[in-house]
Structure 1
Protein backbone atom coordinates (compact mmCIF):
# COMPACT_ATOMS: atom_id res chain seq x y z
CA UNK A 1 0.00 0.00 0.00
CA UNK A 2 1.31 3.45 -0.86
CA UNK A 3 2.32 5.99 1.76
CA UNK A 4 -0.37 8.52 0.81
CA UNK A 5 -2.58 9.67 3.69
CA UNK A 6 -5.67 7.61 4.42
CA UNK A 7 -8.67 9.94 4.29
CA UNK A 8 -11.47 7.39 4.01
CA UNK A 9 -12.15 3.94 5.47
CA UNK A 10 -14.88 1.42 4.67
CA UNK A 11 -15.52 -1.36 7.21
CA UNK A 12 -17.10 -4.48 5.70
CA UNK A 13 -18.77 -7.63 7.01
CA UNK A 14 -21.29 -10.09 5.60
CA UNK A 15 -24.58 -8.33 6.42
CA UNK A 16 -23.53 -4.86 7.64
CA UNK A 17 -25.66 -5.19 10.77
CA UNK A 18 -23.30 -6.55 13.47
CA UNK A 19 -19.55 -6.09 13.05
CA UNK A 20 -19.00 -3.40 10.41
CA UNK A 21 -21.47 -0.85 11.82
CA UNK A 22 -19.88 -1.40 15.22
CA UNK A 23 -16.39 -0.92 13.70
CA UNK A 24 -17.51 2.28 11.96
CA UNK A 25 -18.94 3.67 15.19
CA UNK A 26 -16.09 2.56 17.45
CA UNK A 27 -13.32 3.77 15.16
CA UNK A 28 -15.12 7.10 14.72
CA UNK A 29 -15.31 7.46 18.50
CA UNK A 30 -11.63 6.56 18.94
CA UNK A 31 -10.51 8.94 16.17
CA UNK A 32 -12.63 11.82 17.51
CA UNK A 33 -11.31 11.32 21.06
CA UNK A 34 -7.74 11.71 19.82
CA UNK A 35 -8.55 15.12 18.36
CA UNK A 36 -6.23 14.50 15.46
CA UNK A 37 -7.73 17.52 13.74
CA UNK A 38 -8.03 15.57 10.52
CA UNK A 39 -11.36 14.35 9.22
CA UNK A 40 -11.57 10.79 7.97
CA UNK A 41 -14.63 9.68 5.99
CA UNK A 42 -16.00 6.50 7.57
CA UNK A 43 -18.67 4.12 6.34
CA UNK A 44 -19.62 0.47 6.53
CA UNK A 45 -21.10 -1.98 4.06
CA UNK A 46 -21.88 -5.64 3.41
CA UNK A 47 -20.63 -8.21 0.95
CA UNK A 48 -24.20 -9.55 0.74
CA UNK A 49 -27.47 -7.78 0.00
CA UNK A 50 -29.53 -9.64 2.58
CA UNK A 51 -29.92 -6.83 5.09
CA UNK A 52 -29.89 -3.73 2.83
CA UNK A 53 -31.79 -0.91 4.53
CA UNK A 54 -31.81 -2.57 7.97
CA UNK A 55 -30.67 -0.86 11.14
CA UNK A 56 -27.77 -2.44 13.00
CA UNK A 57 -28.57 -5.53 15.06
CA UNK A 58 -30.11 -4.46 18.40
CA UNK A 59 -27.27 -6.25 20.22
CA UNK A 60 -24.66 -4.20 18.33
CA UNK A 61 -26.57 -1.03 19.10
CA UNK A 62 -26.81 -2.05 22.79
CA UNK A 63 -23.10 -2.77 23.25
CA UNK A 64 -22.19 0.44 21.42
CA UNK A 65 -24.64 2.46 23.55
CA UNK A 66 -23.21 0.84 26.68
CA UNK A 67 -19.89 2.44 25.69
CA UNK A 68 -21.46 5.81 24.77
CA UNK A 69 -21.55 5.28 21.01
CA UNK A 70 -24.75 5.75 18.97
CA UNK A 71 -24.86 3.65 15.79
CA UNK A 72 -28.67 3.63 15.53
CA UNK A 73 -28.81 5.90 12.48
CA UNK A 74 -26.68 3.61 10.33
CA UNK A 75 -28.40 1.51 7.65
CA UNK A 76 -27.04 -1.59 5.98
CA UNK A 77 -25.90 -1.33 2.39
CA UNK A 78 -24.01 -3.51 -0.03
CA UNK A 79 -20.53 -2.66 -1.28
CA UNK A 80 -20.69 -0.93 -4.66
CA UNK A 81 -18.08 -0.76 -7.45
CA UNK A 82 -17.66 2.95 -6.63
CA UNK A 83 -16.54 2.09 -3.09
CA UNK A 84 -13.24 0.77 -4.42
CA UNK A 85 -12.50 4.24 -5.83
CA UNK A 86 -14.06 6.25 -2.97
CA UNK A 87 -12.25 4.62 -0.03
CA UNK A 88 -8.49 4.64 0.57
CA UNK A 89 -8.77 1.66 2.92
CA UNK A 90 -11.34 -1.16 2.88
CA UNK A 91 -11.23 -3.39 5.94
CA UNK A 92 -12.97 -6.77 5.95
CA UNK A 93 -13.91 -8.23 9.31
CA UNK A 94 -12.98 -11.79 8.32
CA UNK A 95 -11.05 -13.66 5.65
CA UNK A 96 -14.23 -14.53 3.76
CA UNK A 97 -15.15 -10.83 3.54
CA UNK A 98 -11.64 -10.00 2.30
CA UNK A 99 -11.78 -12.75 -0.35
CA UNK A 100 -15.17 -11.49 -1.57
CA UNK A 101 -13.92 -7.89 -1.64
CA UNK A 102 -10.74 -8.76 -3.55
CA UNK A 103 -12.79 -10.75 -6.06
CA UNK A 104 -15.06 -7.74 -6.63
CA UNK A 105 -12.34 -5.08 -6.65
CA UNK A 106 -10.72 -3.83 -9.85
CA UNK A 107 -7.18 -5.26 -10.03
CA UNK A 108 -5.63 -1.83 -9.47
CA UNK A 109 -7.68 -1.32 -6.28
CA UNK A 110 -7.08 -4.66 -4.54
CA UNK A 111 -4.24 -3.22 -2.47
CA UNK A 112 -6.85 -1.12 -0.61
CA UNK A 113 -8.50 -4.26 0.81
CA UNK A 114 -7.17 -5.71 4.07
CA UNK A 115 -8.19 -7.89 6.98
CA UNK A 116 -9.12 -5.49 9.80
CA UNK A 117 -7.16 -7.09 12.66
CA UNK A 118 -4.15 -7.79 10.47
CA UNK A 119 -3.95 -4.24 9.12
CA UNK A 120 -4.63 -2.59 12.49
CA UNK A 121 -2.64 -4.81 14.84
CA UNK A 122 -0.56 -7.16 12.71
CA UNK A 123 -2.66 -10.09 13.95
CA UNK A 124 -3.85 -12.51 11.29
CA UNK A 125 -7.27 -13.16 12.75
CA UNK A 126 -10.94 -12.69 12.10
CA UNK A 127 -13.47 -10.64 14.02
CA UNK A 128 -16.01 -13.45 14.47
CA UNK A 129 -19.62 -12.95 13.45
CA UNK A 130 -21.64 -12.80 16.70
CA UNK A 131 -25.04 -12.95 14.96
CA UNK A 132 -25.98 -16.45 16.16
CA UNK A 133 -24.57 -15.92 19.65
CA UNK A 134 -25.61 -14.01 22.73
CA UNK A 135 -24.69 -10.68 24.29
CA UNK A 136 -21.34 -12.03 25.55
CA UNK A 137 -20.23 -12.61 21.95
CA UNK A 138 -21.17 -9.02 21.07
CA UNK A 139 -19.18 -7.79 24.09
CA UNK A 140 -16.14 -9.78 22.92
CA UNK A 141 -16.50 -8.45 19.37
CA UNK A 142 -16.75 -4.92 20.78
CA UNK A 143 -13.51 -5.49 22.75
CA UNK A 144 -11.70 -6.81 19.67
CA UNK A 145 -12.92 -3.91 17.53
CA UNK A 146 -12.04 -1.35 20.22
CA UNK A 147 -8.47 -2.66 20.57
CA UNK A 148 -8.02 -2.80 16.79
CA UNK A 149 -9.49 0.70 16.40
CA UNK A 150 -7.04 2.11 18.96
CA UNK A 151 -4.16 0.45 17.10
CA UNK A 152 -5.46 1.63 13.72
CA UNK A 153 -5.81 5.23 14.94
CA UNK A 154 -2.25 5.14 16.27
CA UNK A 155 -1.01 3.73 12.98
CA UNK A 156 -2.86 6.33 10.88
CA UNK A 157 -1.67 9.20 13.08
CA UNK A 158 1.93 7.98 12.74
CA UNK A 159 1.48 7.58 9.00
CA UNK A 160 0.13 11.13 8.66
CA UNK A 161 3.06 12.58 10.61
CA UNK A 162 5.63 10.44 8.81
CA UNK A 163 8.01 12.69 6.93
CA UNK A 164 8.20 10.24 4.07
CA UNK A 165 10.95 8.08 5.51
CA UNK A 166 10.44 4.33 5.53
CA UNK A 167 8.65 3.10 8.59
CA UNK A 168 8.85 -0.39 10.03
CA UNK A 169 5.27 -0.07 11.31
CA UNK A 170 3.71 0.26 7.89
Structure 2
Protein backbone atom coordinates (compact mmCIF):
# COMPACT_ATOMS: atom_id res chain seq x y z
CA UNK A 1 0.00 0.00 0.00
CA UNK A 2 1.33 3.44 -0.93
CA UNK A 3 1.28 6.13 1.74
CA UNK A 4 -0.80 9.19 0.86
CA UNK A 5 0.38 12.47 2.43
CA UNK A 6 -1.24 15.91 2.31
CA UNK A 7 0.78 19.04 3.13
CA UNK A 8 -1.25 22.04 4.34
CA UNK A 9 -0.40 25.71 4.82
CA UNK A 10 -2.45 28.90 4.71
CA UNK A 11 -2.82 29.73 1.01
CA UNK A 12 -1.18 26.72 -0.68
CA UNK A 13 1.21 28.82 -2.77
CA UNK A 14 4.48 28.68 -0.79
CA UNK A 15 5.15 26.25 2.05
CA UNK A 16 2.87 23.32 1.28
CA UNK A 17 3.62 23.12 -2.46
CA UNK A 18 7.35 23.38 -1.67
CA UNK A 19 6.98 20.55 0.86
CA UNK A 20 5.05 18.47 -1.66
CA UNK A 21 7.67 19.05 -4.36
CA UNK A 22 10.59 18.24 -2.08
CA UNK A 23 9.00 15.07 -0.69
CA UNK A 24 7.97 13.81 -4.12
CA UNK A 25 11.58 14.36 -5.22
CA UNK A 26 12.95 12.43 -2.21
CA UNK A 27 10.32 9.67 -2.28
CA UNK A 28 8.56 9.42 -5.65
CA UNK A 29 6.79 6.26 -4.53
CA UNK A 30 4.62 8.27 -2.12
CA UNK A 31 1.35 9.88 -3.16
CA UNK A 32 1.54 13.57 -2.23
CA UNK A 33 -0.72 16.57 -2.51
CA UNK A 34 -0.98 19.99 -0.91
CA UNK A 35 -3.77 22.34 0.13
CA UNK A 36 -4.43 25.58 1.96
CA UNK A 37 -6.77 26.28 4.85
CA UNK A 38 -7.78 29.47 3.02
CA UNK A 39 -9.26 29.64 -0.44
CA UNK A 40 -7.79 32.91 -1.74
CA UNK A 41 -5.44 31.31 -4.27
CA UNK A 42 -7.47 28.31 -5.50
CA UNK A 43 -6.34 27.33 -8.99
CA UNK A 44 -3.16 29.43 -8.89
CA UNK A 45 0.38 28.14 -9.41
CA UNK A 46 2.82 28.45 -6.51
CA UNK A 47 4.06 31.97 -5.77
CA UNK A 48 6.65 32.99 -8.36
CA UNK A 49 9.52 33.69 -5.94
CA UNK A 50 8.93 30.31 -4.25
CA UNK A 51 9.03 28.56 -7.61
CA UNK A 52 12.29 30.33 -8.43
CA UNK A 53 13.90 29.44 -5.09
CA UNK A 54 12.72 25.82 -5.32
CA UNK A 55 13.90 25.49 -8.94
CA UNK A 56 17.37 26.76 -7.92
CA UNK A 57 17.54 23.71 -5.61
CA UNK A 58 16.33 21.32 -8.30
CA UNK A 59 12.63 21.15 -7.36
CA UNK A 60 10.09 21.94 -10.05
CA UNK A 61 6.74 22.82 -8.46
CA UNK A 62 5.34 24.72 -11.44
CA UNK A 63 2.78 22.01 -12.20
CA UNK A 64 1.05 22.34 -8.82
CA UNK A 65 -2.15 24.35 -8.36
CA UNK A 66 -3.59 25.68 -5.12
CA UNK A 67 -6.69 24.12 -3.64
CA UNK A 68 -8.51 24.52 -0.36
CA UNK A 69 -8.40 21.90 2.37
CA UNK A 70 -11.65 19.95 2.71
CA UNK A 71 -13.05 17.65 5.40
CA UNK A 72 -13.02 14.93 2.70
CA UNK A 73 -9.21 15.06 2.82
CA UNK A 74 -9.31 13.13 6.09
CA UNK A 75 -10.62 10.08 4.24
CA UNK A 76 -8.36 10.54 1.20
CA UNK A 77 -4.98 10.69 2.99
CA UNK A 78 -3.06 8.56 5.47
CA UNK A 79 -1.24 11.52 7.02
CA UNK A 80 -1.91 15.26 7.02
CA UNK A 81 1.04 17.58 7.66
CA UNK A 82 0.48 21.17 8.85
CA UNK A 83 3.10 23.89 8.39
CA UNK A 84 2.28 25.61 11.70
CA UNK A 85 0.05 25.31 14.77
CA UNK A 86 -2.58 27.71 13.42
CA UNK A 87 -3.04 25.54 10.32
CA UNK A 88 -3.10 22.43 12.51
CA UNK A 89 -5.93 23.89 14.60
CA UNK A 90 -7.84 24.96 11.47
CA UNK A 91 -7.49 21.44 10.03
CA UNK A 92 -8.63 19.80 13.27
CA UNK A 93 -11.66 22.10 13.39
CA UNK A 94 -12.81 20.51 10.13
CA UNK A 95 -12.26 16.89 11.25
CA UNK A 96 -15.43 14.84 10.64
CA UNK A 97 -16.67 12.67 13.49
CA UNK A 98 -15.04 9.26 13.44
CA UNK A 99 -12.09 10.23 11.20
CA UNK A 100 -8.78 9.08 12.69
CA UNK A 101 -6.27 10.31 10.10
CA UNK A 102 -3.31 11.74 12.01
CA UNK A 103 -2.50 15.44 11.66
CA UNK A 104 1.08 16.38 12.53
CA UNK A 105 3.25 19.46 12.40
CA UNK A 106 5.93 19.21 9.71
CA UNK A 107 8.50 20.25 12.30
CA UNK A 108 7.68 17.09 14.28
CA UNK A 109 9.98 15.43 11.75
CA UNK A 110 12.86 17.76 12.63
CA UNK A 111 12.93 17.78 16.44
CA UNK A 112 16.26 19.64 16.50
CA UNK A 113 14.80 22.54 14.47
CA UNK A 114 13.86 24.40 17.66
CA UNK A 115 10.54 25.61 16.24
CA UNK A 116 7.04 24.33 15.58
CA UNK A 117 6.51 26.63 12.60
CA UNK A 118 7.70 26.74 9.03
CA UNK A 119 7.80 30.55 8.61
CA UNK A 120 5.62 31.78 5.77
CA UNK A 121 7.90 33.23 3.08
CA UNK A 122 4.96 34.92 1.40
CA UNK A 123 5.16 37.40 4.30
CA UNK A 124 8.82 37.13 5.34
CA UNK A 125 10.21 36.95 1.77
CA UNK A 126 12.88 34.61 3.19
CA UNK A 127 12.46 31.71 0.80
CA UNK A 128 15.91 30.26 1.49
CA UNK A 129 15.36 29.81 5.23
CA UNK A 130 11.90 28.35 4.64
CA UNK A 131 13.28 25.89 2.08
CA UNK A 132 16.17 24.95 4.39
CA UNK A 133 13.70 24.00 7.12
CA UNK A 134 11.31 22.27 4.69
CA UNK A 135 14.18 20.14 3.36
CA UNK A 136 15.19 19.11 6.90
CA UNK A 137 11.60 18.20 7.77
CA UNK A 138 11.11 16.36 4.48
CA UNK A 139 14.20 14.22 5.05
CA UNK A 140 13.00 13.45 8.59
CA UNK A 141 9.54 12.50 7.34
CA UNK A 142 10.83 10.24 4.57
CA UNK A 143 13.22 8.54 7.01
CA UNK A 144 10.28 7.66 9.28
CA UNK A 145 8.10 6.17 6.56
- Are 1:6 and 1:89, in contact at CA under 8 Å, matched by a contact in 2? no
Regions of 4+ moved over 4 Å = none
User: What is the TM-score of this pair, normalised by structure 1?
Assistant: 0.79
- Are 2:78 and 2:101, in contact at CA under 8 Å, matched by a contact in 1? no
CA distance in 2: counterparts of 1:143 and 1:105, whole angstroms: 30
Specify the alignment match of 2:143 in structure 1: 154
Q: Which has the larger radius of gyration?
A: 1
CA distance in 2: counterparts of 1:122 and 1:107, whole angstroms: 30
Matches within 5 A, 1:28-107: 28-32=24-28, 39-107=29-97
Deviation, structure 1 residue 7: 0.8
Unaligned runs of 5+ in 1: 33-38, 157-170
Q: Alignment partner of 1:108: what SS? A: coil
CA distance in 1: counterparts of 2:47 and 2:70, whole angstroms: 22
| Count of residues paired in the alignment | 143
Specify the alignment match of 1:17 in structure 2: 13
CA distance in 1: counterparts of 2:99 and 2:111, whole angstroms: 21
CA distance in 2: counterparts of 1:127 and 1:110, whole angstroms: 24
| 2:134 matches 1:138 | no
State the Cα RMSD in Å: 1.5
Deviation, structure 1 residue 6: 6.5
CA distance in 1: counterparts of 2:62 and 2:39, whole angstroms: 19
User: What is the TM-score of this pair, normalised by structure 2?
Assistant: 0.92
- With 100-109 and 90-99 compared, the bigger mean Cα shift is at 100-109
